[in-house]
Structure 1
Amino acid sequence: MEKDANVTVSLVPASELLSQTILTVFDTVHAAKAVIIQDANFQQFAIYLEMVTVVLKELANLKIEDSERLKIAVANLNREIKVAKQLTVECGKRNKIYLLVNCQRISKDLECITKEISRVLGLIPDISFNINDKISKLRKDMLDSKYQATAVEEEILEKIETGIRERNVDKSYANNLLLCIAEAAGISTEQSVLKRELEEFKSEIEDVNLREDSAEALKMGKIVALLAKADAATSPEEKEIKYFNQRNSLGTQRLEPLHAFYCSITHDVMVDPVETSSGQTFERSAIEKWIAEGNKLCPLTATPLDMSALRPNKILRQSIEEWKDRNTMIMLASLKPALHSNDEQEVLQSLGKLHDLCIERELHREWVMMEEYCPILIGLLGAKNREIRKLSLVILCILAKDSNENKERIARVNNAIESIVRSLARQIGESKLALQLLLELSRSNLVRDFIGNVQGCIFLLVTISSGDDTQAAIDAKELLENLSFLDQNVIQMARANYFKPLLRLLSSGPVNAKMTVAATLSEIELTDNNKLSLFEDGALQPLLVLLSHSDMEMKKVAVKALYNLSSVPQNGLRMIREGAAGPLFELLYRHSLSSPSLRGEVAVIIMHLAISTTTLEADQMHVSLLESEEDIFKLFSLISLTGPDIQQIILRTFHAMCQSHSGLDIRTKLRQLSSVRVLVQLCEFDNHTVRANAVKLFCCLTEDGEDSTFVEHVSQRYIETLIRIIKTSDNVEEIAGAMSIISNLPKEAHITQWLLDAGALQIIFTCLTDGNSSASYKRQLIENAVGALCRFTVSTNQNWQKEVAKCGFFPILLQFLDSGTALTKRNAAVSLKQFSESSNGLSQPVKKHGAFWCCLASRETGCRVHLGICTVESSFCLLEANAVEPLVRVLVEPDVGACEASLDALLTLIDGERLQNGSKVLSEVNAIVPIIRLLSSSCTKLQEKALKALERIFRLIDFKQKYGNLAQMPLVDITQRGHGGMKSLAAKVLAHLDVLHEQSSYF
């Protein structure tokens, strides 16, 4: 087929081929510039194509004689450009949601196409120095090109993955996700447009189901199911019709729960029912607690329980939710008459039930709005009973927060705003609730005019904004600012800055006045903007003067004020720059002069200063809190001299400093000061807050690699403590930190054995398979747990390896190769590589039988690589574990570490005598092409490993013939631009391929 194509090319003049290709490039550029999703990537791709056009036009202008090499090169280029055109046209036409959820694949496809075009450009023969130079530069730029999804797109994909994993995400999560997708994809959030886009997306998925592989179809189906939970694309009318059709079909009698709804352990209706290996269903938290308490038998059947076999009973859960929804609808309808009752106690009880329902679920709040409760609640604002009025305001505020539509429906109720304003003039508790409701309503543009036009409203707001209640004053000012139609004089009046006269007194007033002002600044509630403004207007220096005063009472009020103002990082940096740290540390160290509460406040201020040094601004200005070893020692020594409250604050202070721009230096000095010994002791504390902060700081100290300090102080007892923390702690951050310590501790054999003896493998297994961890720390915990597993899979101890294999870690490692973070993939590949290093020695020889036996039984075949009998648990064979293909997929990952670890694992298959058989396996799973592409990697180490592997593979004639042409150009590039011995090694490979002679100067 290829021969016929070349004959066809030979019949077409080069000038015509060039013209055709230029037109194809022009069309592709036009299509690329029209793509909306991944527009930055396609714009960059279009720039490359325009540069290709320049080269082609110059070639055409030369009017050179027909050259077979040139024509074949241009024909190949035309073919690759057509592939690019197909992708760009498809991305311009397909549904935007479909394109966004596939943005990573599109980026990879675009990157592969760019590199293929670069490769084909290298086939153009030398014609002129100018053109050759342009082609060389263009090829380098294209080979170095990286296309990636945007941060917003990556965040959306992460939300999609989280939603699919969690399975039980609510409607608000799905709505938020859909709106994020719409914003990122340039889709209007208008309901009809969203609905149309979703329908088109579903149609695209149906086509995927018909045309593409089942894996993508399954994934797309999950995404459709997730987005189907959103109702942002459903009109209010459609929601109401659906609600009332369902509600009107229910009757008026509430149903009692079915017997199956109750958990036999808690005797309550279940929320998250799970089925056990015994076939019984329990509330998840109850059965997990039962097992955690050491019970190994089912509480009903007394049969053994398998914790890993808990399966969500989705059908029962759905039935329970439907039962709850049915009764909620009936209750909502029944509460209305009670709210019109003359019995105040009955009204309060009904409002309480309505309030609880509104808090419980967003869906309930929708139903409350559909049931037209707003006019009833507005009417209750005129009730004589203050508690009825306050509870009505609370419920209205909850409803208003959900959407602008709710705000507008509340405002359109007759006399609604007037009734709320009347509450604004009542006692402080009710007034503040009314103010919060008005502030929430003012966030809708349509409602603002209603508020400002109510007689007396502006006067009341201005009065409150100048009052003593700080939070109410702030809310009133914000509300006045929202009412943008107001006269500027009124706004200026509302913004009256009562801080300036206070600051004048603080700077130059009498001593008593200064102390009063400082006390005021310590007690009032302030926004971050207020705190920044106070420092900008000059509050810091007068407070530092008070802090340095000999009078202890002055010091106390200054500390309290700085405690209140230092929580903003910009203020913390200003305090460090203006010398606040010195007097603060002096107070902290003077045990006799300062009370425990004062020292605690000082410690918190110092912690705020430390946190401020972790900001980008601090990094740019090189601001540090502590620099000398003596200062660090002095502060750290306080941990042993103070109580738990100050201990945990100092630990948090050091943890913050370890994250700053000078963190590496801080960590080094802490290790030199024998802080490890102290932290080891603190990890055994009964005070969980101190222990958790000690674990976090210890974790920081282990991040910089192995250190003899840890070996010296880490005992078997400490290892057992870490395991106990992971088993029993409720603090997911502490659990992740403890797992990180296990991962980072020196890989000493005795430490690893202690971990095994303490049950570390079972703990790691639970962490990797438990889906209940907090989402924010789940990824970090998995990364740390897979990293910790690497220490048990070293090929120098096959007994450890057998323990890991026996626990069933292989399927988990394969799962994380496909779905883990870059670090998780890297560590999973490292473990698989270490396992594979042992496979050859553990593979059992195939038994030989006599001729008569062959007639009676089929011949036993061995592993294709190791030529013996392999299993996952006995020889850790990558082939038996089905690990080869997932490792190959990681080879194309953008993360260099993951890619390198995967390559290392795959190359164990061609070690020594396994070259021939291993190469065949790598070829069958399409691993050799990605390895060749690694020759163009920006990472020299990765490039060198790929080069060494190919030098061995290309010793085999079959593989040399099959892949040699693909490797030629990258190899030539290395001989010209490679580092050190890589040039001669590349030349050696080219000699294998018969491109260079053995006597070439490259050797």
Structure 2
Amino acid sequence: MALELIPIGTILAVLTNQVIKTAHAAKDVFERESFKVLSKHLFDIELVLKELQLQELNDSQAARLALESLETDVKRANNLVEKYKNRARFYLLVKCRHIVKEVQDVTRDIGKSLAALSLANTEVLSGISDQVNRLQNEMQRVEFEASQSQLQVFDKLNQGLKDQKLNQDFANDMLAEIAMAVGVPLEPSEISKELADFRKEKEEAASRKERAEVFFLEQIIELLSRADAARDYDEVKKQYKQRVQAIERYDTSEEYIQPLKPFICCIKGTVMVEPVSLCTGTTCERAAIIDWFDSGKGTDPETHEVLEDTSWRSNLPLRQSIEEWRELNYCLKIRSSKAKLLSGVETSMLDALSQMQDLMRENSINKDWIMIEGLTDIIISILGNSHNRDVKRKILITLKDIVEGHARNKEKVVESQGWDHTVPCLGRDSSISKAAIELLYELLQDRSGWNLSVCRKLSQQCSTILFLVYTLLKGTVRESAEIAEKILMKLFDIDEENISCAAKSGWYKPLIDRIVHGPEASRVSMVRTLVNMELVDSNLKLLGEEGVIPPLLEMASGNIEAKQLSLSALAELSSCNTNKELVAASGGVHLVF
């Protein structure tokens, strides 16, 4: 029915109901401040429309056109609300900029339509003209911005994808930050639900043939699926056992199952990762067929017949079959690696360790499967018993690969006291020491930085401080010394007794710093350590050169305990002639001599 045949009062009543409905719905869109502002403005417009209903509305062409325009814009706003109110929370985050821009545009358009309606009914709205003018001006000039925290998370994610940062550590960080930004607990069950919803968003984009969107969402899903929290550990174990059962029919000497012919891309000649099917049934790697068509070719790459329809669709059953084939090969290699490690033959063990590293590089699920199969415990045991330099170094590197960015594996290595064999490696040659210190540092980290619980456990190891000080002072690799110092400084923060242990191991600087700058109780404790140490002339001279004498002279004027300890320390230090001169230069002759 033509708009001019409908009574203007009816149009106004319908529009008012639509505004109220949209305003209420907009309040419920998940954590979107822009929708809440839109809702508030719509409720304000409701008051204007009700005022028009109470007065005799000017039934002019201009008024009808203004109402029609306002109705169209409100419908657009309602469509936006319906579009985003039940979307996956991860999807809302990655689309935050786009969503905010859409809401801003429709809010401004509603403001323009309200201004036109106001002009067409100046006399009727005279009583609330200031309110209407303020509202339409505010709406036309509105500027929405996405949450800064969400923008930062998205920008970090986007940059990481551009830089092809697909490692598990980055995946863990991004999943943790995204979950926090949208209010989802970082628990496997919750994350699985969110990722399932996110995958539905990708499937819907595919049905709309939005290729760029599909590709972008696939990248995000692939990255986040690598994270620890995205995997239910019981399901991981169940999947591994199923694959292990499937390879039992293969001879123990086999390490590779040849791919089936349908797995091979007819364009590239390699096993496909993302198989897609053409209308003819020919299957190709997605990237390969896109390049094929982009280069101007309009034929089927296998049959060479001209294609009238160049569309394609993902072949999920084939993709799953290829993934299963790959996983079976992973299991064969894990089984082979285990046999080589248990053989006791050093060349075989080195081969197994290389194989394990390759597996983890190829797919991070192998970090879990290697742990489940018990290979980690085996190589930790070999680390403690082997005297082969190359085997030790490669085990340390492999262990770092196993635990890097993987909270569960770190926990298991720590629980198995893996560092009982790692810490002594700090005293070996530079290549082994470097691998050991890097592994140790990785074990002490979690997503937020230092894992204080693990640091405390390491601090309880009697030999830890000794070996770390050795790496710092005697090591020939600068990077290893820097890492050792970082670890030591954190252990000092956790337990002051570690400073005393470091001094007894030959590193005096932290002890001197604490005597110079520490609180009274700490200074007394450090001086007591100094008094109880057996020091040769070279150590005494070093302590003097490092500046320990002035603060000791200062403490000599303190309480009885501080005075006694500082004088005892000064007396011992003064047995070195160089220090006698330093004491004299500091004005302490009357106290010591």
Contact 2:111–2:140, Cα closer than 8 Å, also in 1: no
One-letter amino acid of the structure 1 residue matched with residue 90 of structure 2: I
Q: 2:412 is matched by which residue type in structure 1?
A: R
Q: How big is the shift at 1:373? A: 1.2
TM-superposition CA deviations, 1:823-880 (whole Å, max 9, x none): xxxxxxxxxxxxxxxxxxxxxxxxxxxxxxxxxxxxxxxxxxxxxxxxxxxxxxxxxx
Instruction: Provide the aligned C-alpha RMSD in A.
Output: 5.9
Indicate the SS of the match to 1:69.
coil
* Cross-structure match for 2:113: 119
Aligned positions of 1:443-462 closer than 5 A = 443-444=445-446, 445=451, 446-462=453-469
Q: Is the counterpart of residue 404 in structure 1 residue 412 in structure 2? A: no
**TM-score normalised to structure 2 length:** 0.60
Partner of 1:490: 499
Q: Distance in 1 between matches of 2:94 and 2:192?
A: 17
Contact 1:163–1:226 (8 Å) recurs in 2: yes
Structure 2 CA distance for aligned equivalents of residues 443 and 162 of structure 1: 21
The aligned counterpart of 2:377 is 375
Deviations 1:510-537 (Å, cap 9, x if unpaired)? xxxxxxxxxxxxxxxxxxxxxxxxxxxx
1:480 — aligned with what? 488
Q: Deviations over 1:926-953 (max 9, x none)?
A: xxxxxxxxxxxxxxxxxxxxxxxxxxxx
**2:26 touches 2:39 (CA, 8 Å); kept in 1?**
yes
User: Residue 196 of structure 1 corresponds to which residue in structure 2?
Assistant: 193
Query: How far apart are 1:442 and its partner, in Å?
Result: 0.3
Instruction: Return the alpha-carbon distance in structure 2 between the equivalents of residues 190 and 359 of structure 1.
Output: 25
* 1:485 alignment partner AA: I
Partner in structure 1 of residue 393 of structure 2: 390
By how many angstroms is 1:431 displaced? 1.7
Partner Cα distance (1:403, 1:136) in 2: 58
Question: Which whole-Å deviations, capped at 9, do the CAs of 1:199-234 have from their partners, x for residues lacking one?
Answer: 45567889x69xxx9527988877776666426433
Matched-pair contact (CA < 8 Å) for 1:205–1:221: yes
Instruction: Map residues 545-624 of structure 1 onto 2, 5 A cutoff.
Output: none
Match for residue 257 of structure 1? 258
The amino acid across from 1:66 in the alignment is: Q
Note the 1:138-217 alignment, pairs <5 A.
138-147=135-144, 152=150, 156=154, 181-200=178-197, 214-215=207-208
The one of the two structures with greater contact order (alpha-carbon pairs below 8 A, sep at least 6) is 2
Check the 8 A contact 1:122/1:139 in 2, yes or no.
Answer: no
User: Partners in 2 of 1:65 and 1:284 — Cα distance?
Assistant: 62
Corresponding position of 1:233: 230
Q: What CA distance in whole angstroms lies between the structure 2 residues aligned with 1:139 and 1:313? A: 48
Q: 1:233 to 1:356 in 2, by over 3 A?
A: closer
Structure 1 position 237, deviation (Å): 1.0
Residue 68 (structure 1) aligns with = 57
Helix, strand or coil: the match of 2:494? Answer: coil
- Which of 330, 343, 358 is matched with 2:332 structurally? 330
Give the equivalent residue in structure 2 for 1:441. Answer: 443
SS at match of 1:384: coil
- CA deviation string 1:488-546 (max 9, x = no partner): 98399889599x9xxxxxxxxxxxxxxxxxxxxxxxxxxxxxxxxxxxxxxxxxxxxxx
Paired residues of 2:334 and 2:370 also in contact (CA < 8 A): yes
CA contact (8 A) 2:341 2:348 kept: yes
Q: How far has the Cα of 1:440 moved from its partner?
A: 0.3
Structure 1 position 69, deviation (Å): 3.1
Post-superposition Cα deviations, 1:125-165, rounded to whole Å, max 9, x if no partner, equal 2257784345334323322334465685598599789989x
Q: Which residue identity is paired with 1:236?
A: Y
**Which residue is 1:802 aligned to?**
none
User: Are the structure 2 counterparts of residues 204 and 340 from structure 1 closer, same or farther at C-alpha, using a change threshold of 3 Å?
Assistant: closer
Deviations 1:309-356 (A, max 9, x none): 9x9998998877654542331121122232123333332332233233
- Tell me if structure 2 keeps the 8 A contact 1:358–1:395: no
Aligned to 2:291: none
CA drift at 1:197: 2.6
1:757 corresponds to: none
Are the structure 2 counterparts of residues 144 and 442 from structure 1 closer, same or farther at C-alpha, using a change threshold of 3 Å?
same
**1:88 to 1:283, Cα distance in 2 relative to 1, 3 A:** closer
CA, structure 1 residues 24+438, in 2 after alignment: closer, same or farther (shift >3 Å)?
same
The answer for the alignment partner of 2:536 in structure 1 is none
Deviations 1:286-313 (A, max 9, x none): 9xxxxxxxxx9xxxx9x9999xx9x999
> Does the CA-based 8 Å contact 1:381-1:423 persist in structure 2?
no
Q: CA deviation at 1:462?
A: 3.5
- Would the aligned equivalents of 2:48 and 2:132 in 1 still touch at CA under 8 Å? no
**Which structure 1 segments of 5+ residues have no match?**
287-295, 501-1003
Cα distance in 2 between the residues matched to 1:450 and 1:393: 20
**1:429 partner letter:** S
Percent identical across equivalent pairs?
24
C-alpha displacement of 1:235: 0.5
User: What SS is found at the alignment partner of 1:122?
Assistant: helix
Q: Which residue of 2 aligns with 1:247?
A: 244
Aligned position for 1:465: 472
Give the SS at the match of 1:67. Answer: coil
Q: Which runs of 5+ in 2 are unaligned?
A: 289-296, 514-593
TM-score by length of 1: 0.38
- 1:686 equivalent in structure 2: none
Amino acid in the other structure paired with 1:67: E
User: Could you list the per-position Cα deviations for residues 790-831 of structure 1 after superposition, in whole angstroms to 9, with x for gaps in the alignment?
Assistant: xxxxxxxxxxxxxxxxxxxxxxxxxxxxxxxxxxxxxxxxxx
Q: What SS is found at the alignment partner of 1:437? A: helix
Residues 344 and 452 of structure 1, relative CA distance in 2, 3 Å threshold: same
Q: Which amino acid aligns with 1:111?
A: D
Distance 1:346 1:223, change over 3 A: closer
Given that 2:188 and 2:232 are in contact with CA atoms closer than 8 Å, whether structure 1 keeps it comes out as: yes
Aligned residue number for residue 350 of structure 2: 348
Q: Is the 8 A contact 1:461 1:480 kept in 2?
A: yes
SS in 2 for 1:249: helix
